[in-house]
Amino acid sequence: MSAGDHRIGRVRVLTGAQNGKYPAGNSLWIDGTDTRAVIDPSLSLQARGDDLAGRADLVLLSHAHEDHTAGLALFADASVHVHHEDLVGLSGIDGLMQIYGYGGELAAITRAWVLEQFAQVPRPDAKGFADGATFDLGGSTVRVFHTPGHTRGHCVFRIEPEGVLFLGDIELSSFGPYYGDAWSDLSDFERSIERVRGIDATAWVSFHHVGLIEDRSVFLEKLDRFAARIVEREEAMLDFLGEPRTLEQMIARRFVYPAHANLPFIDAVERRTLEQHLARLQQQGRVTAVEPDTYRTTL
C-alpha cells in the first residue's frame, strides 16, 4: 500500500499523482484468490515504490485512451482486455490516432506527444469483451457495463461482492463530460450517464480528480453536476447564437475549455463538440443555419 491508497475487501484504489489529475489517474487493483487484476494502469504506477510491476495476471481497460494504458509496460505478461470497439486503440499509435480523428499537423504533434509522455506499448494480442462480460478472479468478480460516448467502447466495471463501481472517464470532474474525439458521441454519453446512475453499488471510483466516493448521495450529486455541464454548454451556445455566428467564431469563443487553456488540440475538440450540439439543436428547431456554416438561435 502507498499513502493515499484505499482498500475495500479485495479491491485497492491506487490513487494517482495529484489525485489522478491528467496525465495521471486512479487505478484499481484486485487481489482475487486465483487471479490478480489491475484496471486502467495509470502513469503513476510507474513511479510507485512497491512491487506491483509484473504481478498482475489480468489488465482490464475502461477504454483505450493514452492515460488509461500508460502503465501497461509494467504488465507485459498479463492478458489485456478492452471492449471490442476500442481494440484498435491498443494495436499501436496509428490505431489510437483513429480514435482521436485528428488530421494534418495536429495528428503529427499529438502522435509525438503521446509517444513521448506515455510510453505507449502496443498490445495487438489484447482481447475484446462485450457488455455483460464477467471476469472471475476467485472471491471477486468484475462485471462489464458498456457505457459509450467518451469513446465507442468505453465501459465501467463493478467489482462484486465489494460493490465498487469503477467509472473510468465518466469522471465526475468540474470540467464535465468529454465527447470531443472522432469516436465520441454526445447522445451516447448522456445515455451512459443515466445507465451509470441506475447501477447498484456502494462505492464509486473515478479515474481523474474525484477518486473514491463511499456515499450514494455524494455520488448522485456529483453525477448531476457532471451531467449539467452538457446543458450549460448548450445554453451558452444558444446565447452566443443570439446573433448569427460562423462555426469558426464559435470555436474561437470556446464552450469546453477555459480561455486561458493552451493545448494544441483545443480547436479540434471544440469543433467536434460544437458539431454534435449544432446538429441536435438544428434537429430540434432551436438553431437555424442562416447561411452555409452560419448559425443563429431560431427566432
**Positions in the binding site for Zn ion (CB under 5 A):** 65, 169
The three cell numbers of residue 180 are 470531443
With CB atoms as reference, the residue minimizing the distance to Zn ion is 65
SS3 string, 220-284, reads HHHHHHHHHHHHHHHHHHHHHCCCCEEHHHHHHHCCCCCCCCCCCCHHHHHHHHHHHHHHHHHHC
* Helix 186-197, helix 216-240: angle, nearest 10: 160
> How far is 287 from 22, CA to CA, in rounded Å?
34
| Rounded Cα distance, 144 and 129, in Å | 8
Give the nearer residue to Zn ion in terms of CB position, either 53 or 93: 93
Q: Which of 64, 241 has the CB closer to Zn ion?
A: 64
Q: Which of 74, 64, 182, 184 is nearest to 124 (CA)?
A: 64
How many of the other CB atoms lie within 10 Å of CB of 183? Answer: 24
With respect to Zn ion, which residue has the nearer C-beta, 65 or 222?
Answer: 65
55 vs 195, which CB is nearer to Zn ion?
A: 195
25 three-class SS:
coil
Cα angle: 192, vertex 194, 198; to 5 degrees: 110
Q: How far is 166 from 173, CA to CA, in rounded Å?
A: 15
Rounded CA-CA distance 135/66 in Å is 23
15 or 62: whose CB is closer to Zn ion? Answer: 62
Instruction: Measure the N-to-C terminal CA separation of the chain; round to a whole number of Å.
Output: 60
State the minimum distance, in angstroms, from the CB of residue 64 to Zn ion.
Answer: 8
In whole angstroms, how close is the CB of 63 to Zn ion at the nearest point?
A: 6
Contact indicator for 79, 89 with CB cutoff of 8 Å: no
Cα 101 off chain centre by: 16
* Angstrom distance (rounded) from CA 23 to CA 5: 18
Rounded to the nearest whole angstrom, what is the least distance from the CB of residue 31 to Zn ion in the complex? 26
Q: CB of 282: closest distance to Zn ion in angstroms?
A: 28
Q: Which is nearer to Zn ion, 85 or 169 (CB)?
A: 169
Q: Is the Cβ of residue 128 or residue 244 nearer to Zn ion in the bound state?
A: 128
Of 102 and 295, the one with the shorter C-beta distance to Zn ion is 102
